[in-house]
Amino acid sequence: MKIKVFGKILGTFMVALLALGVGVTLRASAGTENNVFGFAWGGNEAVDTNGAFAVPNNGAIDGDENGFGWVSFNSTDCDTDDNGIVDLSEVRVHPGCPAGTIASYGVKVPEANGDLSGYAWSEHFGWISFNATDLTGCPSGSCKAERIGNQIKGWARILSIRDAGANAGGWSGWIQLDPLIAGPDTVTLDVASSPHKFKGYAYSDELGWLQFNPEKGGVSYENPSTVDLKINGKDAIVSGEATLGTPLNITWTSQNTVSCIAKQGYGFWNTPIGTNSGSNPITTQAVFSSLPYKIECTGLDGTTAFDEVPVTLLCVGGCDTSWSACSKACGTGTQSRTCTSSTCDSYPEEQSCNTNACNQSSWREVAPE
């Protein structure tokens, strides 16, 4: 393993970078967009202890380390309330948590084979990129970080070292996720655990081993629960596409969920339209309401995923042109017709009617004498 010391200029650059928590323009976000969480540890012994490579110390800090330090894979590792500030109570969450303003960041691993993306944060070196755009020109093999089966292969890169150029002392900042040199196991995913845990080590020939499952940390990922609701195959029903009382076909697709409940409106008081553990269609009648139709799903991890579709019914106020027959054959009676309000409510309208005058006569019945 190479042991080098940065030049004075790069050292000054790193102090500024760490103090501000910036230095690289990022488009990163935490939460469900990025599903990797936790801390890896890259503390190596300053003296080569076995003649071949430094022995990883499993997170035990005893004063003679160098390397990555703690590497966080999601800003919510420290900023637990995701408000952009690591306060004093959050600093105590983990030794790798700095106090102060923090950018939103994270790493995402695909559910099946595919590329990783996003950024991790090293307490000593700043941003570590897993984005393919930052990994062009890697030392060998495929220049991206990727999941193949349950193995993590390819490269990541420390951006502060890359951007330091000639001031980096000959360093390049590359991290191999599946190192070929003799040593510990490479990075794999334990999909039998919940959440799924990373195990093993990545390697930098400049900084040494980066352990993904140290004693005082550990990196894991969760597949977030998601749901996509459709009504009549659409994300919104506008006026004219549905009328009062017509059937509405409610369908949805969900991932990593246990069950889903379709309803209209919000709150615990709503009666579900239907409950389903799969994605079979539910049919209901269109009713007038300012509240959207909604689907709520319980995820495998106990979290809630939801989606909603607004339905605007076509309800033009007015009345039928035809009145009913007069209630009396002669004299004053009433007649009615059906009207519809702008809120799609039906109501009767009445009026008086007089179709024929009742005949008047001077004849009267008398008793016989």
User: Which residues have CB under 8 Å from 12's CB, separation 6+?
Assistant: none
Contact 217, 70 (CB under 8 A): yes
CATH number of 316-369: 2.20.100
* Residue 197 confidence (pLDDT): 94
Q: Kindly report, as residue ranges, where domains of CATH 2.20.100 are found in the chain.
A: 316-369
- pLDDT tens track of the chain, all 369 residues? 443 333 322 333 333 333 334 444 443 444 447 889 999 998 754 444 444 444 444 444 344 446 899 999 999 898 888 888 888 888 777 777 878 888 889 999 998 899 999 999 998 899 999 999 999 999 999 999 999 999 999 999 999 999 998 888 899 999 999 988 766 788 999 988 878 899 999 999 999 999 999 988 899 988 778 888 899 999 998 877 887 778 888 888 888 888 888 888 766 556 678 776 556 778 887 877 778 888 888 887 777 888 889 888 767 678 888 899 998 888 889 999 998 887 777 889 999 988 777 776 666 666 666
Per-residue tokens: 341: 């309000």
* Residue 210 confidence (pLDDT): 94
Q: How far apart are CA 249 and CA 234, in angstroms?
A: 10
Instruction: Please state which architecture CATH assigns to domain 226-309.
Output: Sandwich (2.60)
pTM exceeds 0.85 for this model: no
* Residue 363 confidence (pLDDT): 62
CA max distance for the chain = 147
Q: Kindly report, as residue ranges, where domains of CATH 2.60.40 are found in the chain.
A: 226-309
Per-residue tokens: 31: 């939460």
User: Which residues have CB under 8 Å from 190's CB, separation 6+?
Assistant: 150, 196, 197, 198, 199
Cα angle: 336, vertex 342, 344; to 5 degrees: 75
Q: Alpha carbon of 167 to those of 31, 162, 170, 172, 207: distances in Å?
A: 35, 10, 8, 11, 17
Measured in whole angstroms, how far is the alpha carbon of residue 56 from the centre of its chain? 35
* Residue 23 confidence (pLDDT): 43
Q: Could you tell me where the beta strands, DSSP code E, fall in 93-193? A: 100-101, 107-108, 114-115, 117-122, 126-129, 145-148, 151-158, 174-176, 188-190
DSSP state of 161: H
* Residue 304 confidence (pLDDT): 83
* Residue 4 confidence (pLDDT): 38
Per-residue tokens: 79: 């900023």
* Residue 191 confidence (pLDDT): 86
Q: How far apart are CA 136 and CA 134, in angstroms?
A: 6
